Chain A
Amino acid sequence: MSVSFILIALIAMFGHSEDFLGTTLLSRPLVLGPLVGLVLGDLNQGIIIGATLELIFMGNIKVGAAIPPDVITGGVLGTAFAIISGKGPAIALAIAIPVSILAEMMISALFVLRAMLNKKFNQYAEEGNYKKIQWLHILSGLIRPLLMGFIVLLALQLGANAMRSFLDMIPAWVQSGLQVAGNMLPALGFALLMNLMFNKKVAPYFFLGFILASYLKLPIIAIGGIGVIIALIITQYMPVNTNDDDDNNETQEPDAEPEVIHRLTNRDIRNIFFRSLALEANFNFETWQNTGFAFSIIPALKRVYTDKKQMAEALKRHLQLFNTSPYGSTLVLGITAAMEEQNSRDTDFDAESISSVKLGLMGPLAGIFDSLFWGTFKVIAAGVGTSLALKGNIMGPVIFILIFNIPHLLLRYNLTFIGYNAGTKFLSNLAKSNVMDKLTTGASILGLMVVGAMPATLMNITTPITIGSSKSAITIQGILDQIIPAVIPLGLTFLVYYFVKKGAKTAYLLLGLLVLGFVGSMIHLFA
């Protein structure tokens, strides 16, 4: 067993630890690819393969309890086999796609099995034993990285030689076909993103992004900058919330709540934030993030409840089902911490209201934060990151992580304090202003401009067809470039988008694109 196999398995384990690391996208192919490349002594290939896989899996997102193909296992194995055999990105994706679908099934099975632990958790809660709850949460969370790391190691150990000789048998024409097919696949990722973001109202921004990229050849980072400016200008002129016929006499209500002395220290609240990074560690299909929520709120419970019975009640309360976007989870945690504190102080406090506020908030907040982070920050980060990484630039993955996580962690950290200090008042203020409207509109403009730029920047499909005799041949591509550069990638993206809208299954579209690319390459229609 070679050292590099063990290191690659460790990379897969690191990726599968994402549920402990705050869903910070460290597990994306764009990040893990370079790591695998580094281990195998070809960092450059690792970066490029990672970027290629990132593009193809771009539309793959985790929303709610819907689990996408496991790009971690698929991506790591695909990258590793491609580099070992020296066959390049096309082979990586040919391996990554089926493997990720298989691995997703295993993870789903794990999420089903984990639900069986809920009995144990509840028993510990009954005893008021928060320490055991913490441990079980962490132990159960470790199953996923350990299991998947082992599988990756096994696959490498048993499969590497067989895979190498198998890949060596693949003739060159199949490889070039795969190459073209691979270059087409990002159209599926873009179309899936468009499906989430594109509508008639915001369509102009998509084309603006496309034109800036195709005619002016602006890099995606510049288009993102222009997008921010346009979004700011547009949202400045949005009407102030008139909120239908809502009686506005709420303003009479004086904000003269008695000043309460907060018992939680800043350190407790920081602790809640850090623990929230492990919110999804024990994700299961029955109660979702419940143990993660309990795990995160324990610093507050420890502070306010000294009585074992009260602690038990609180723990039981927080082992109820919970699921929200991890990115906004700290807001709910902060609000809950404040309510638990109030409950500990005020004997008349209705503890049921804690659960109902939690349940009331988790859905809407998931809606806001999933859209903001998956729909905007992830799109921009991946757009900028892959465009650099495709050229072999190591800053690609670095910038990818920074663009996503600087706003993510800043917001997530501050929301813990805002939730605790301002509670639901923060939300009602938000509801009264039109900040949310501005935010969602601005974010969708920005996101869509970047998506519009993607076909032109990130997809490399041209046609080698020529007209006329070999001496005075005119290439069709040359003509196209003068009229609409990158029209083939754009056309393909819209073609796939059309089928996505029609309800075509993703797997068929994937297959369709592969065939189109393959055949197109054989008959020299595409290159």
Chain B
Amino acid sequence: MIKLTRIDDRLLHGQVAFTWTPALSADCLIIANDKVAKDEFLKMTLNLAKPAGTKLLIKSLKDAAGFLNDDKNKKLNILLIINSVTDAYTLAVDVPEIRSINFGGLRSKEGSKLISKAIAIADDDIPVIKELVNKGIELEIRQVPTDSKQLVESLI
């Protein structure tokens, strides 16, 4: 079962390892990212940050979707982490179980606009976000579990 699908461009860091993982009682963290899945150095550093008592899987988007759709893995408490709106969309299309996406951190870059403390949205993200909303998927902003949910569409 996917406990949370989170967009966070720092992937696995303090907020994820230290607040979300225990709050969700997650026992399996999945980082779905094509680039990281091929990068041995990044994989090594991410493995170092793995919270105690959890399993960390780093997969390409395609492999991650396959894993999530596999009935064998339904009994895991999964925290799924991706690092962009586009990747979130790809997974949301392939994995019907994703009904809600948490926006945890998107750093600002050239041409993006800060809509919340830690969330910057680029112009080309907006159609993707609209598409996700049309699919009836909840898009909420929370950095840590104790924050109150803010809906993305109310801010763009």
Contact = CB atoms under 8 A, between A and B. Distances in A.
Contacts of B134: none
A66 B147 contact: yes
Interface string B11-46: 111111111001101000000000000010110111
A441 B52 contact: yes
Contact of A360 (B23, B41, B51, B148): B41
Interface string A355-376: 0010011111111111100110
Interface centre among A63, A367, A441 (most CB of B within 10 A): A367
A374 B46 CA distance: 20
A436 B49 CA distance: 8
B5 interface: no
A495 interface: no
A287 B11 contact: no
A108 interface: yes
Nearest to A63: B14
A371 B144 contact: no
Interface centre among A64, A112, A321, A324 (most CB of B within 10 A): A64
Interface in B92-124: 105, 107-108, 114, 117-118, 120
B44 A192 contact: no
B73 interface: no
A67 B120 CA distance: 17
A367 B13 contact: yes
Interface in A70-122: 108, 111-112, 115
B51 A357 contact: no
24 contacts: A63-B14, A66-B143, A108-B117, A111-B117, A192-B146, A195-B22, A285-B117, A285-B118, A286-B120, A321-B108, A323-B10, A360-B41, A360-B42, A363-B46, A363-B49, A364-B46, A366-B49, A367-B14, A367-B17, A367-B49, A370-B14, A371-B18, A371-B51, A436-B50
Interface of A: 63-67, 108, 111-112, 115, 192, 195-199, 201-202, 285-287, 321, 323-325, 357, 360-371, 374-375, 424, 427-428, 430-431, 436-437, 440-441, 444, 500-501, 503, 505-506
Contacts of B15: 63-64, 66
B127 interface: no
A505 B142 CA distance: 13
B102 to A, nearest CB: 13
A199 B118 contact: no
Contact of A367 (B12, B107, B118): B12
Size range of the interface on B? 35 or more
A362 B13 contact: yes
B18 A66 contact: no
B48 interface: yes
B136 interface: no
Nearest to B118: A65
A198 B143 contact: no
Given A66-B147, A364-B12, A431 B47 contact: yes
A366 B46 CA distance: 11
A201 B45 contact: no
Given A363-B13, A431-B45, 20 more contacts: A66-B118, A66-B143, A112-B117, A195-B22, A195-B146, A285-B114, A285-B117, A286-B120, A324-B13, A360-B45, A364-B12, A366-B10, A366-B49, A367-B49, A370-B17, A427-B44, A436-B48, A437-B52, A441-B53, A500-B146
Interface centre among A201, A325, A368, A369 (most CB of B within 10 A): A368
Nearest to B148: A505
A424 B144 CA distance: 30
B45 A427 contact: yes
Given A363-B10, A424-B41, A440 B23 contact: no
Nearest to A194: B22
A97 to B, nearest CB: 16
Contacts of A365: 45, 48-49
Nearest to A436: B48
Contacts of A197: 22
Nearest to A64: B15
Contacts of A501: 23
In the A-B complex, the 3 residue pairs with the smallest Cβ-Cβ separation, listed nearest first, are: A364-B49, A370-B14, A367-B17
B45 A361 contact: yes
Nearest to B117: A285
A364 B17 CA distance: 9
Contact of A431 (B25, B48, B108): B48
Interface centre among A196, A197, A198 (most CB of B within 10 A): A196
Contact of A65 (B16, B23, B52, B117): B117
Nearest to A59: B146
Interface centre among A111, A325, A360, A363 (most CB of B within 10 A): A363
B45 A364 contact: yes
Contacts of B18: 63, 196, 367, 370-371, 374-375
Nearest to A324: B13
Contact of A64 (B14, B145, B146, B148): B14
Given A195-B22, A196-B22, A368 B117 contact: no
Contacts of B10: 64, 323, 362-363, 366
Contacts of B148: 505
Contacts of B120: 286
